[in-house]
Amino acid sequence: MLGPVILAASRSDRMRRLVTAAPVTKQVVDRFIPGESVDDIVPIIEDLTGRGLQLTMDVVGEDITTPEQAAAARDAYLALVDHLKDLELGERVEMSVKLSMFGQALEGGHELALANVRPVVEAAAAIGTTVTLDAEDHTTLDSMFAIHEELRKDFPQTGCVIQAYLFRTEADARRLAAAGSRVRLVKGAYKEPAEVAYQQKHEIDKAYVRVLRTLMEGDGYPMIGSHDPRLIAIAQELAHRAGRKLDEYEFQMLYGIRSEEHLRLAAEGHRMRVYTAYGTDWYGYFMRRLAEKPANLRFFLRSMVSTG
Ligand SMILES: Cc1cc2nc3c(=O)[nH]c(=O)nc-3n(C[C@H](O)[C@H](O)[C@H](O)COP(=O)(O)OP(=O)(O)OC[C@H]3O[C@@H](n4cnc5c(N)ncnc54)[C@H](O)[C@@H]3O)c2cc1C
């Protein structure tokens, strides 16, 4: 079980220094995070949307420690909105945000995160698009759902993420599967204790299907965040059984992972949204991608050895 070890290592400052300083890291990182600045990312947005894909943009940088950094994160998203405005792509390009990056873990963090994320949600609405609140570790979720509810009073299209590995998620899904809600279901990417989360892959997969059924049979808009071919086939079947049309749910996958499948689903007429991260503070995001697939770690370590 390499995944939990990598996730634990991702919290270590020593490991961060080692990984970010390694000369080969950049080329491996580029597979998952295709740019550092908004100027790098605009051509990627144009290319992917030109191929019939939709996008959700993530400015990486969850490990902030001061209110000034949280305000800078807000400004980075506002700068992105400025660029999206010129591209006139509307809801074809939405944004994903991590509330930790907006200050949630700092003193008075709940209010601070809400105050920082609100202008981003407002700016997104003004150009005809939306924001989805990512799910982070389980200790942050009550605050995330409360902020989601607050934002939805003025911006009902604001989305949120639920994680199949958490025991609480089936109840969250029943609450959220209501008209007008947009909910992304993922397996979950953090190291969670056995008191709150399933630990075995088969248990997580079964929970994913149960929650997906609740979302598909409900009145909201399900967003299926997974690369798992079995779950994608099950999602199509459940959508069909629930009488949903192709524009009444969507698939979402991460940039750089199963890219041919993104295009295949889009060509079949599905809404396919690619979660595309960019920015300089990519360490946490990158380490979660390594943890999801041991082969990524092996590739990374091999390149370090061969160039070292
Ligand atoms: C759009 C999107 C948004 C997400 N948002 C969140 C979030 O807000 N909170 C959260 O906790 N998690 C989030 N995740 C991550 C998620 O929780 C999982 O960790 C991740 O999606 C891997 O699970 P899987 O469903 O793809 O299934 P898995 O069983 O892990 O993977 C299925 C197959 O997909 C491929 N694959 C999966 N991951 C990788 C990888 N890293 N590198 C190469 N191939 C891979 C492999 O072929 C693998 O066999 C998100 C995932 C997606 C797709």
* Predicted confidence (pLDDT) per residue in 242-262, tens digit: 999 999 999 999 999 999 999
Name the helix (H) or strand (E) containing 225: strand 221-225
In this structure, are residues 233 and 251 in contact, taking their beta carbons and an 8 Å threshold?
no
Active site residue 184: yes
Is residue 163 in contact with ligand 1, taking CB distance under 6 Å?
Answer: yes
pLDDT digits (tens, 9 = 90+) for 132-171: 999 999 999 999 999 999 999 999 999 999 999 999 999 9
Residue to substitute in 54, 293, 296, 297 for testing ligand 1 pocket (most ligand atoms within 8 angstroms of CB): 293
Strand, helix or coil at 235?
helix
Q: How far is the CA of 233 from the centre of ligand 1 (A)?
A: 16
Tell me the DSSP string of 63-119.
Answer: ---SHHHHHHHHHHHHHHHHHHHHHT-GGGEEEEE-GGGGTTTSTTHHHHHHHHHHH
Active site residue 134: yes
For the entire predicted model, the pTM comes to 0.95
In this structure, are residues 297 and 25 in contact, taking their beta carbons and an 8 Å threshold?
no
Distance CA 232, CA 2 (A): 25
Is residue 292 in contact with ligand 1, taking CB distance under 6 Å?
Answer: yes
Residue to substitute in 182, 254, 259, 297 for testing ligand 1 pocket (most ligand atoms within 8 angstroms of CB): 254
Locate all alpha helices (DSSP H) within the chain, ordered by sequence: 2-9, 13-21, 25-32, 38-50, 67-87, 109-126, 141-154, 169-176, 201-217, 229-241, 259-267, 283-292, 294-307
Distance CA 250, CA 47 (A): 20
> Model confidence at 305, in pLDDT bands (50, 70, 90)?
low
pLDDT digits (tens, 9 = 90+) for 44-94: 999 999 999 999 999 998 889 999 999 999 999 999 999 999 999 999 999
Percent of the chain surpassing pLDDT 70:
97
Structure tokens at 268: 């079949």
Identify the pLDDT of residue 308: 45
Distance CA 117, CA 71 (A): 10
Residue bearing the CA closest to ligand 1, atom 25: 226
Distance CA 249, CA 239 (A): 8
Is residue 227 in contact with ligand 1, taking CB distance under 6 Å?
Answer: yes
